[in-house]
Structure 1
Amino acid sequence: EGLPVIKEHPSNVIARRNDPVTLNCAASGAARIRWFRDGEEVITSTQDPRSHRVLLPTGSLFFLRVTATRRDSDTGTYWCVASNSYGSARSHNATLTVATLAYDFQSQAEPVVKIRVGDFVSFPCKPPKGSPLPELTWLRDGRQVTNSSRIIITQGGDLVISQAVQDDSAAYVCRARNAAGTRESTPSQLTVMIPPWFVERPANVTVPPGVVVELACRTQGSPTPSVTWRRLDGKMPLGRAKIDDQRLVLEQVETADSGVYACEVENEAGIASAQASLTIVNAPELTQRPQDVHVMVGESAQIMCHIKGGPQPLVLWRLPTLDRTALLIPGQRRGYTFISDDGYTLTIEHATTEDSGIYHCWGVSSGGGVSGQAELVVVPSHPPPIVGVGPQDKTVIPGSVVTFSCEVVSEAAKAVISWWYRPSVHLPSRPLSQGTDGSRISLPDNGALILKNVHLDDAGIYTCRARADTGTVEQAAVLRVEHDANVSEPLHLPAPPTKPRLMAVNQTAVQLSWLPNSQVGGESGQWYTAEYWRQGWDEWRVADAVMLKESCVVSHLTPGHTYIFLVRAVNNSGASFPSPWSDPVTTRPPRDPSLSVDQIRQARRRLSQPIITLTDASITAPHSVLLTWNFLDLTDESVEGVLVYSLTKTGTVQVATVLGTSSSSYLLHHLSANTHYTFFIVPFWHSVEGAPSNSLSVITPESVPSSAPREVRVTMLEEGLVLIRWSSMTTEEAQGKLVGYQVIISHNGSQITETVVSPWLEAHSLLPDRLYTVRVAALTGAGLGPFSVPVLLDTRPNNAHTIHKVKTESDNSGSVRYATTQPGWLIYVLIPLLLLVFIVTLLYVRRFYKKGSFSNSPHAPAHYQDPSIYPDQNSISMYGENKPWRPSESDKDSSLSSTRLLQSHQLVNEYAEPRVPGLSDTTTEPYATSALIRAPSPHLNHNVPWKHHSDDSCVQVNWAAFLPPPPTCPPPLDQGDPVGSSDHQGPRIVSSSGSQYDNIGRFEQYEQPCDAASEHTYDVYTQVTPDG
């Protein structure tokens, strides 16, 4: 018996609508149990049979179906009350919630989402309305998504993916769940796309015409990209172009196909493009071969060599020296030899015999190489003249007219013909002139001699002599005069043949050929003779007396010499006029005896064709390049080695020799950085060099500067401000693009680093009385170069006006350069020397004074010489007082009151006549007469601490540190001593009251305590000895 006790309290319940639910409640000793909702009693089926709420016998409240409508809703806070006659008991509260969940999501992601790799994407998800709030989860292809470093589900339910990868591609679903059920959003298909990228880019191609070219372009991406080929600088050859597996194939390429081709790939993620150049090269071709040239010493020679090709070949000229680096490029000059700007013409001015030789003309390009050669022959002199048709022996009767012919050939210089007569072989000859022996002798312009009315004593030997600058030649004929002489028939000489041509030449023989005279033709019964001349000979020589054919071989010649040949036709009447002279012919120099002529000829024939191809030139370091090449149809005997040429745009040539044919690469060292190089290869066999290969060009990368800036100048503009300048660096020294200069100013372990573009720097806020070190280095993209030799900068006031200049040399020895105008050792020598001179002078003056030289004069003055009274060469400043003064008691013990600083002979004329105030109405002004002023003493006129303008001073001495200070104010002048009295022996120096001057040369206010009668300051002090 007693109050009821609640044994089971109701619990919170969440139920779906129309589902049965029970709220439990049990009590002991209860006679009645009632239920309340939100403070109102619940009507059960016991009270209303239509109610869906049933009170169970145990006291629990059972809902047949849970309702949640606006009119009737079971949602609320419930509790049960058990009561009996003793009272009642109340249970705990319990909440009944009717779970609801709508079908449609308030917001959800798009069905299809596409992003690129690395992008950010967010899938929104706002669940359907429901009670209680539904719990959200994300599914990826049916599997629940968990948070990671890249994938996060926000508090609002959104799914965020950052830095997306291709594996993130999937179907994403947002799931909302509560007691009312589960809802899933429409799947959102995420596609992570990969922009197109190149697996293989198209490469530049250089090929000859007529071949098939394939330009590769392999790409990948997601989705698979599409490939499009375009030509950027012209039309695509549609008939010969096709795309095969992303590659562009061009068949039977032509020169017009040269250009830039672009491979463009595209997908939804992006676009990519790559370009390649197609170069159709034509091997260089000689359009004008160089021809042999023969000139005299001192003349100019030109050799022409025209080469064309695509691209335009680089034309090079190889000079005939053993130095294989003797190459000239277009526009280059070496001595008197220079090349035209187009490279087609080699010109030699003032040719000498040393210029003789074989000149090679090379044309190289990426398409191949070609070579030509010509021989230049420089002769010191031309052949001497030769008699073409000379006088013939004749027999005539007295009274006849005789004509002796004398036609001279002299192609190099004009010949002067003279005639000489000798009565007999044993008698001397005499010259014949026009009009000799009356009018019987005449000398016409054609060189002949005509004798009229011949006498018996005209018989003798007549000689025709031709003299020219190149030599002398003569030919004689005999004249016989007889009464019974037969009349001579006229001579029928053959016509001269054509100019002989060179057919072949070796070391000791020359083969010549010619043609008979075209107007007359070859007469029957005639033959030929050949004559030749060699450098250094003074006459022509006959090579062969009888030659029946129009060709001959002149043998027994000397190797390496130059010859000139001519040919005459001969019949029974005599020899014809000589043919034109042949071109100079130089026999081959002595060859290697181990090599035969056939071997050399075959080697020249093999090496004249391209047999080597330069395939690659790769940069391995700023100063080295690796070259690789291939041989074409090579036999071991055809090539002994190769010459590797490297050529800069300025004409600098390097040659390396690689022996043998087993090597197909070579590493070139010691190249200049940031320099354009052209490389090609020349094969050789013994002394025979072949045609050059194709050329490849590279630009070496830049490097750090090779040297430090020069001519570092340090100028101290004012206190704390310094201007630092240096010379700009050349491109060769910089070895790259000059970025700027780095300047380091250091002092006592600390330093300031500044980087500037221009070759100068203003340094501010430098502390005074410091010794700084300045160093400068050049800076390129590759780094910092060496620093200049340190320059010492002294900021002490004594050096504030000095301009310091130092030229740093390239040796970079690390020594310190002192930026002063005089050598540093001079200071250390002069300072002790000056101190010694000063001490000796001071001791001498003291000693001289103690001897009483001026003791007889009680007023003999001893001067304190202020340095300002000894001005420099451009100005004079003197300031003084117009009355003597006596020292105070405090001054009596000082050296100023008892010691003379100047010797007696130095006191003469060191002051001017005083101007006494009152004697003139004019204003008192300081003055000095240069004629009365003695020149400054050499013992005192040393460097002083005030500003000066002397350029020959290297040491500055502060005399104020050695001289005693002046008194505070001079004592008044004795009023009893008239100003103009004759017994006053001290100098009176008057200065303007408005003039003040300090001891360092600056005008400023300088005040001194003086007596009432004084209106002046004291810069020159006169001392008198005390009375008694």
Structure 2
Amino acid sequence: MAVATPSGLDWLQLLVKGSHNSPPPTLFPHHTFPKVFLFLCAYPGSRGGPEDAVPRIVEQPPDLLVSRGEPATLPCRAEGRPRPDIEWYKDGARVATAREDPRAHRLLLPSGALFFPRIVHGRRARPDEGVYTCVARNYLGVAASRNASLEVAVLRDDFRQPPVDVVVAVGEPAVLECVPPRGHPEPSVSWKKDSLRLKEQEGRITIRGGKLMMSHTLKSDAGMYVCVASNVAGERDSGAAELVVFERPSFLRRPVNQVVLADAPADFPCEVQGDPPPHLRWRKEEGELPIGRYEIRSDHSLRIGRVSAEDEGTYTCVAENSVGRAEASGSLSVHVPPQLVTQPQDQIAAPGDTVTFQCETKGNPPPAIFWQKEGSQILLFPSQPSQSTGRFTVSPSGQLNITEVQSGDAGYYVCQAVSVAGSILARASLEVKDVSLDVFPPIILHGPLNQTLASGSSVWLPCRVTGNPQPSVQWLKDGQGLDSGDLRLNLLANGTLHITNLQEGDLGLYSCVAKSSKGQAIWNGWLRVQGEISLFPIGPPGSPSQPVVIEVTKNSITLTWKPSPQAGGSPVTSYVIEAFSQASGNTWRTVADGVQLETHTITGLQPNTIYLFLVRAAGTWGLSEPSPVSEPVQTQDSGPSRPVEDPWQGQRGLADVVVQLQEPLFLSPTSLQVSWTVDGPTQLVWGFRVLWRAVGSSSWTVLDIGSSGQRNAVLRELPAGAQIQIKVQPYSREGPGPESTVLTRSTPEEAPSGPPQAVTVALGGDGNSSITVSWEPPIPTQQNGIIQQYQIWCLGNESRFHLNQSAAGWARSAVLRGLLPGLLYQTQVAAATSAGMGVASPPVLIQLPLPRNPEPGPGLEVGPGLAEHLASVLREPAFIAGGGAACGALLLGLSAAVYRRRRQRKELSHYNGRTGGQRCWLEEGGADGRRAEGKVNNFTLPPLLLEPSSEPDEWCPPLPERSHLEESNPSKGCMASPSRGNTPSPTPSYGDQSTVTLTPSPPEPSQAPAEIVCIHHTPSRVPTGASPPLSLSQSSLSGLEGGPVSLSASPMPPRHLSPSPVPSTTSTPGESTVTEPFI
């Protein structure tokens, strides 16, 4: 029973009587029911079941923050038995739902939740906003949930402070401010740049209280910025504000200090960047720009032409724009290059004299002076310690002194003056009076060979020497003197070392040393010792002839010689060239080895220097004796302007220049473009030398590039299909610099430009119808690559007789089969690389002989092929049908002729023809007992190549194809040679005759009447089997001279076979028609 407390109390207590396990009373705060007290009474007399329970809230409603017009749900779920009823209270007043009041917009869901289909909220009326309580009750009691508040979020449209445009410079801080619209809850602020959400960057971009702050701006920060305010009610975008980021002027290229020679131009670069683009101007510190001699170019660089001493100073480039200013300066120094005050003079001295060369210079700054002898790498500086230069000293003023002059001191001496402003040189010659070219170091004529001998055997190691004065001979083993106490060693008077009873300890390198006051020569040879040796050396090659000079330049000499004419000795595999020059020392030096040809160019020689040369031949068994010494030859003078090597500057300056080759670009199989880059002090470079050679060649081809700024060159006339080595070397006035690394590339192959050599053709090789073709490869300079294969052609007089065959690139011969006897063939050979077929060799004519000729039949020489061809023609259905028709026509014609004779009693018309001395074969009389007469067609035939018949007693003329006739003639036919004046009738008619048309060469001048050959057709047996057709060659036709040639029984020369007769339907001038009747 519920008891109401006095009205002044703040709590309402609900007492529920029943079970002693009932829960404690439920207290409701006074503020929940400000106006109404709720009295909850239990029904008197009701008693609860043992499973009934008091209501209990198991799901509390949460506080809600929702947007206006959006749906919302306040959940609430209670448990109890019986199931409790759910009611809702707002601000202490019971909430009416659609179940109780259809006009209500709130719904009570079966779960007990309160559902708002649409939150109603306005400026004046806010019916849905408040504090809600869920109450569950049954007969045992009541339970109330926590108080849940429902609030409506609001966000206005207008920003209280929108962002504004900001202009800053690169590197400066920037702040964009924004105060968002009013709203509930208070909206948060974010930023967008160019429609993309902006994120904070630690240390540079931060967003605090609506402000966007950048500690230092970048050029990329420029753009349009939008302030975004957002809460539960939505988002609002402010108007866009632009952040403009200007850039202060900054230098991409600054002026650099210049050191310029007088009268030379000076260039000061100045390249800047900035936004907006800066304005540039130049000024000179403590002075004005030289009027009329300066120019400000389009790239804002300053150029001063023909500088003078007055132009020295500091030049400043000034750049300005709206956000800043920048300056950069460079100094100009004007120097005077070294100049000669005293020129050194040529000197002539005798051995033992003292010589002085003057060389006085001036310049600003004062130049350094040093001396150098051409061909020597030794530099002589003033005040240099005398022990390092010996007889050569240089005074502080630049004077060169040479004491105790020797013959080797002769040559050119160069005085060089060098400063930072430039350099200059002067040269003078020293001539020693008694220099003798006939005095040179000893020559070893025959030295020890590399040998392998058996243990216990003896060996003679020769060392024959010559020289003036007579040299002495000394032997060394592995660089050490021989043991004089070894009784097995014996040095003969002629220099030969004899070693007996060879032992393993004798193995080593033996050196023959020839010495005299003029120098020395050394010859080395290996000696190896084994158990048993069965080789017998045959000796070295013979010595070549005296080398002859054929070309001389400043740095090279070309020699030629002849091999030894003496037979015997090992074959020559290569040549070795030795040289001697007094300027290079007192011994012979090997300047070339492995030389394959009898002509060679020695490069790398010193200008204006006298050389002597000798040549040795190298073979399997060692070197030959030397050739006679060549005549003295002097390289050309380089002239006063020749750049001499100056290690003081060339090696200290150009040594730091590094040339890097790039990948070459092939323009054609024989030309390419080579490019390079240069690092280091390029101002010292005057130009470049591009050197190339084929792999295996000992000499380089040089292309000089006279421009220091050029970085590419085109190499032409390269060998196709070869490996090429390329390198580039810079040079200056003082000499060459270091070379680049060697780049090796292969040129593309081309088809061979020359034919195979020594092409020969021999009969036989594989049967009577074959030939063997032999050849040698094209010369190496015309191969243009690796020969992949050879193509061999054997061409007859027409395509059906042609033969061809290919052979591998290593092959040197091939056998061709299937040639026809008596037919003239042209044989050619061509080489092919991967790029294609090359030039064919000149044709070689070949003709297989005919079989032995049998006894010819009367009147004509025939072969087996002709009878077989006729047999095949007679078996043709077209021939049989035509023959039958011809026979019928012939009988009809004969009957008509007899009838006409009897009726008209006239003499038959006859035909006159020019006949020769030869009569028809097997002549017979006509029907009336007389010999028939008729018109005879003349024709001209060339000499024919006829093969002998296997059956000489039987022969049939070739049966031509059916054709138009000049006229019908039922009488027996004859073949004759017509005169040029008779022109066959162009009117075609079909009769009982057949023709064959031969096309000879163009009409010739009038000829004498030809002999008539009359052939009477008689039945004959035709041999079976195939045979080559009878044919004529065009060359034979065109080769006739004067009168025609008739068919006869005499042998005819085998000229050439030509295509078979061509059938024709008309007779035209220039054609000959053979007419034969069918009987």
Q: Scaled by the length of structure 1, what TM-score is found?
A: 0.29
Q: Scaled by the length of structure 2, what TM-score is found?
A: 0.28
